[in-house]
């Protein structure tokens, strides 16, 4: 698979499948581009070019010590788009990756895009504040950070059960999917893992919403415990002019696996317009 260098010299691992207009996929925290393999194959089979990459610090990309703020991460996205070429691209951000989509819109003017998608995304603002009462309390993020510093492997074993909505009697995904996700998470460096958690939990994307000037698909599960829908998908849909919100009733955060076929069909249908 190819590798590209960002403007500040960080090497990113890229998967480039198919031919046609580019569709760039941004994975969630703390995973890798591998989470998009099923969708990428469907996009390539539909006559488009699926480009997914490991975020700096994660997966097979370089683990620099800094650069985990959304301005820098959106610059990385801009560099990937420039490498891909074309002026008719779509960008799709899952979870944390939705923040890169939003910041690309405001910081880079949404250049060369025809459409965008936010999937179980952190946009517009995760943190609970006086003017964002539906957000998640800071204490929750503090506990996450402490759990990762105490025993990261143990933390992720519990985290992914909530991520996929796995309960004692409800196996939304197989044990092997949980193990696969844990392996991906442990490929990341500790610094990028902590720094990106701080970035997605504290960055306010509400000012970025006005910069969305292309049709935008928003997909979010109503039972998402990781990024609750009221402060995220529903709020984003209310603030983006050309947004279409698809709510997956009962779906958890990791709907790309739990609702895989519906997710693929909805995204490919949107891309074909």
Query: What is residue 17's predicted lDDT score, i.e. its pLDDT?
Result: 98
Q: How many other CB atoms sit within 10 Å of the CB of residue 164?
A: 23
> What is d(CA 239, CA 226) in angstroms, rounded to the nearest whole number?
21
What domains, with CATH codes, occur in the chain? 3-272 (3.40.50.1820)
Query: What is residue 2's predicted lDDT score, i.e. its pLDDT?
Result: 86
**Residues 6+ away with beta carbon under 8 Å from 115:** 90, 214, 215, 216, 217, 270, 271, 273
**Residues 6+ away with beta carbon under 8 Å from 168:** none
Query: What is residue 266's predicted lDDT score, i.e. its pLDDT?
Result: 98
> What is d(CA 233, CA 133) in angstroms, rounded to the nearest whole number?
15
Q: Check if the beta carbon of residue 220 is closer than 8 Å to that of residue 248.
A: yes
Query: What is residue 171's predicted lDDT score, i.e. its pLDDT?
Result: 82
> What is d(CA 83, CA 38) in angstroms, rounded to the nearest whole number?
23
**Among candidates 126, 19, 41, 27, which has minimal Cα distance to 77?**
27
> What is d(CA 23, CA 253) in angstroms, rounded to the nearest whole number?
22
Alpha-helical runs (H) found in the chain? 37-45, 70-84, 97-107, 138-163, 175-187, 190-202, 233-239, 255-258, 260-272
Place of tokens 């580019």: 22
Question: Which pLDDT tens digits describe the chain residue by residue (273 residues)?
Answer: 689 999 999 999 999 999 999 999 999 999 999 999 999 999 999 999 999 999 999 999 999 999 999 999 999 999 999 999 988 999 999 999 999 999 999 999 999 999 999 999 999 999 999 999 999 999 999 999 999 999 999 999 999 999 999 986 678 999 999 999 999 999 999 999 999 999 999 999 999 999 999 999 999 999 999 999 999 999 999 999 999 999 999 999 999 999 999 999 999 999 998
> What is d(CA 21, CA 273) in angstroms, rounded to the nearest whole number?
13
pTM over 0.85: yes
Query: What is residue 273's predicted lDDT score, i.e. its pLDDT?
Result: 86
> What is d(CA 269, CA 273) in angstroms, rounded to the nearest whole number?
7
Enumerate the active-site residues.
95, 224, 253
């Amino acid at each position: 698979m190819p590798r590209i260098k960002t403007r500040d010299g960080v090497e990113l691992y890229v998967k480039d499948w198919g031919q046609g207009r580019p569709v760039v996929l941004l994975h969630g925290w703390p995973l890798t581009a591998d989470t998009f393999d099923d969708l990428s194959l469907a996009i390539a089979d539909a006559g488009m070019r699926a480009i997914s990459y490991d975020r700096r610090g994660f997966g097979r990309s370089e683990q620099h010590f800094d650069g985990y703020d959304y301005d820098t991460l959106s610059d990385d996205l801009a560099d990937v788009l420039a490498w891909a070429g074309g002026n008719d691209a779509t960008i799709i951000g899952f979870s944390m990756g939705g923040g890169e989509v939003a910041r690309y819109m405001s910081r880079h003017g949404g250049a060369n895009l025809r459409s965008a998608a936010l999937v179980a995304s952190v946009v517009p603002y995760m943190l609970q504040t006086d003017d964002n009462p539906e957000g998640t309390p800071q204490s929750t993020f503090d506990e996450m950070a402490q759990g990762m510093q105490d025993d990261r492997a143990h933390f992720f074993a519990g985290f992914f059960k909530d991520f996929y909505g796995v309960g004692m009697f409800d196996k939304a995904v197989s044990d092997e999917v949980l193990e696969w996700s844990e392996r991906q998470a442990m490929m990341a460096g500790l610094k990028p893992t902590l720094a990106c958690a701080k970035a997605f939990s504290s960055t306010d994307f509400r000012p970025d919403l006005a910069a969305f000037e292309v049709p935008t698909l928003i997909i979010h599960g109503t039972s998402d415990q990781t990024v609750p829908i009221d402060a995220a998908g529903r709020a984003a849909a209310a603030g983006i002019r050309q947004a279409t919100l698809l709510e997956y009733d009962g779906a958890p955060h990791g709907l790309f696996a739990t609702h895989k076929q519906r997710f693929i069909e909805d995204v490919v249908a949107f891309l074909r317009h």
